[in-house]
Structure formats: C-alpha cells, structure tokens
A and B are shown apart, each in its own frame.
Chain A
Amino acid sequence: MRARWEGVHAALVRSVTTLQADRQFRDARGAEAILGRFESPAGLIEYLTGKAGSLDEKDAIYAALVRTVQARAAWGELAKAILWCGLWPALDGIYRHRLRHFKDDPDELVEAISVAFSTLVGRMELGRVNRVAATLVRSTDRDVMEERRQEWGVQEHHAEPSEEDAKRAEPRTPPRRESELGLPVGLSVDGELGALRGWLLPIGGADTDLLLAVLVLDENQREAADRLGLTHEAARKRFQRALDRVRARLAEALSQSAAETRVSGGARARKPGGAQR
C-alpha cells in the first residue's frame, strides 16, 4: 500500500545525492548566506531532519529554499527536493494519518499530498508567514482533506440517495450485525460517509456537517468553525448539543432494538405451546 509513497521518497533521496545535485548546490549556496556552511544537499537534509540545531535557523533555511523555488532559480528543482526531504517525517505523518480516508485508492493520497505541497511552496507568501515549516505541513494536511471533502461532496451530489436508501439509513432501522447504526454493508469509505450523513441528518439537522467534521474527518472544533463560518464558541456549543442529541437517539434506538429482540424471542418461545392447542 505504501509502495508508491516510498517510491516517491526513494526518488527524492536519489535526486539530492547525485553528482549533479552536489555541483548545483555548491554553485548556488553562496546566494543564500544561511546555506553557505553546508557542504552538500545531503548534509543540509541531515541537519534539517536531525534533533540538533536551532529551530529558528532551520525555519530560516526552509524560507531560503522556498524563496529559491519561487524565484525559479536554476537549482529550484533541487531546492524543492530538499524541502520535501527535510519535511519528509512530517509529510509521512500526514500520509499515515490520512490513509484511512483513501483506502480505496492510496495513490490518490500520494497525488493529493504532492499537489498540495508543491502548490503551497510555489504560492506561499513568506512575508506573512511566521513559521514556514509548520505552515507548509499544516496547510498541506488541510488542503489534502479539503480536496477530499469536496470530492465527497461532489459524489454525494451526483448520487442522491433513493427513497429506499434514505429509509434504510433511518436511525430506527434495527442494527445489523455489521453496523450498529444499520448502515448498508460493503460501502466504500465515501459511501460510508454519505450513508452516515444520511443517518445523522434527521438528528443533527444544520449541525450535521459540524458533527462529521469533528467526529469523522478529524478536524478540531476551531478548524471546523472556521470552515463553516462559525465562531469557535458557537461551534463548541452547537457541537455539544448535537452530540447530546445523537447520544440520546442512539440510546433510544438501542433500547428499542433490545425490546424488539426480547418480544420476538418471547414469541418464538410461546409458539410451541400454541401448536399444542
């Protein structure tokens, strides 16, 4: 599953350890004073990914690399590869964390991270950013999930659930063995999200997307609030109230299901007696 992702890393590492890369780096490092003390791209990456060294200096190095990419310098591609390799541990963390949202096609996640990261490096306004590395990583994660949510939205729009599907997703549907909520089995991740949304909508109402954002898509309440145009305080209160409604409905559905089981079990138990009459 990780083959393509690891292939990207292997290609990046190779690209920064070639004779060409060393020569480019030696010729160009004078343009950015902060890079002058590094003998090769590999040495620079070792410093960036190591625990030793000043975080402020490392961030200034990332800024220098971003500037180089944006200036379309001759060694811009090398600078971009160094950025990738320096931030690889964090980018790999994004990959591992978000993989469950791309179970159907992990290569899509590789593509999404690549596009988001490259776009951010190309467009970042360095004058408005305090922490370059953290901004690149957090924004990459945000953009990957934003695109994923948009895809989910499009798919949901294109595949309006039929009346029968909606009925199946009703909260009062008796729980199936595979899903306590009675969601159809065998769905893709996207399908599950759509079905879950259908299940939540009668309970969550206008707060359904807020619930999904926090409970399923791993956004924190502040991020969800920003995205949905709410204040953090309003989102916090609405999320808590909506969650209480979901819990109450779940408890109701589960107790109803238990009662039905007892009734049907009792009916079966009486049947032999009826046959004797």
Chain B
Amino acid sequence: MNEQDQPTPETDPAQFTRLPGLFRRWEIEQVLEPGSDFHIEEAGDASDGTPLFAVYRREPNQKEA
C-alpha cells in the first residue's frame, strides 16, 4: 500500500470513537498508541484554567465508506 492509499484521518467522523473523559495536554501522550489515527479537539478549560481536549481514535487503516 503506498502513501496515497492511506485513508486520511477526519474525513469520516463516524469512524472515530471518543475516548472517555477529557485530557490535559500532557495526558494525551498516555493515550496515543502507534498504528491508530487520532483526532483531537479543544474542549474547554479545567477549573484551574488548563485547556482540556477530547480525543477520538480510529482503528488503523479503516477504509472510508
């Protein structure tokens, strides 16, 4: 499979499922894993003003519908 055959992340939002909870910037690395596609969105601030993010994951190499 060459690079052009790889599905582009984010083109089908139904393929991405959300990981439970919201994450601080430095927590994101704990949920990243090789081989999956991720989509990360800003999701407000914690009470101490730290930005929070929602993380969505797609199983590797999903074919777009």
**Measuring CB to CB, which residues of chain A are less than 8 angstroms from any residue of chain B?**
14, 17-23, 39-40, 42
Which of the residues A17, A20, A39, A42 comes within 8 Å of B43, measured between beta carbons? A39
Residues of A within 8 A of B17 (CB): 14, 17-19
Number of interface residues of B (CB under 8 A): 15
Number of A-B contacts (CB under 8 A): 33
Residues of A within 8 A of B12 (CB): 20
Residues of B within 8 A of A18 (CB): 13-18, 56
Whether A22 and B18, one on each chain, are in contact in the complex, defined by CB atoms closer than 8 angstroms, is: yes
Q: Is B39 an interface residue (CB 8 A)?
A: yes
Known A18-B17, A39-B43; further 15 A-B contacts with Cβ < 8 A: A14-B17, A18-B14, A18-B15, A18-B16, A18-B18, A19-B18, A19-B56, A20-B13, A20-B16, A21-B14, A22-B18, A23-B13, A39-B44, A40-B54, A42-B20
Which of the residues B10, B14, B15, B18 comes within 8 Å of A40, measured between beta carbons? B18
Whether A19 and B13, one on each chain, are in contact in the complex, defined by CB atoms closer than 8 angstroms, is: yes
Q: How many Å lie between the Cα of A17 and that of B13 in the bound state?
A: 11
Whether B13 and A42, one on each chain, are in contact in the complex, defined by CB atoms closer than 8 angstroms, is: no
Known interface pairs A22-B54, A39-B43; A17-B18 also in contact (CB < 8 Å):
yes
- Main SS at interface, chain A: helix
Q: How far is the CB of A6 from chain B (nearest CB, A)?
A: 17
Residues of A within 8 A of B44 (CB): 39
Q: How many Å lie between the Cα of A252 and that of B52 in the bound state?
A: 76
Q: How many Å lie between the Cα of A40 and that of B44 in the bound state?
A: 13
Residues of B within 8 A of A23 (CB): 13
Residues of A within 8 A of B18 (CB): 17-19, 22, 40, 42
Whether A19 and B16, one on each chain, are in contact in the complex, defined by CB atoms closer than 8 angstroms, is: yes
Residue of chain B at shortest CB distance from A42: B18
Q: How many Å lie between the Cα of A71 and that of B14 in the bound state?
A: 23
13 sample A-B contacts, Cβ–Cβ < 8 Å, listed by A number: A17-B17, A18-B13, A18-B15, A19-B10, A19-B16, A19-B17, A19-B18, A19-B56, A20-B12, A20-B14, A22-B18, A22-B54, A23-B13
Residues of B within 8 A of A14 (CB): 17
Q: How many Å lie between the Cα of A22 and that of B13 in the bound state?
A: 9
Q: How far is the CB of A178 from chain B (nearest CB, A)?
A: 50
Q: How far is the CB of B55 from chain A (nearest CB, A)?
A: 10
Residue of chain A at shortest CB distance from B21: A42
Q: How many Å lie between the Cα of A23 and that of B17 in the bound state?
A: 12
Q: How many Å lie between the Cα of A110 and that of B10 in the bound state?
A: 34
Residues of A within 8 A of B20 (CB): 42
Q: How far is the CB of A46 from chain B (nearest CB, A)?
A: 10
Residue of chain A at shortest CB distance from B16: A19
Q: Which of B12, B13, B44 has the most CB of A within 10 A?
A: B13
Q: How far is the CB of B16 from chain A (nearest CB, A)?
A: 4
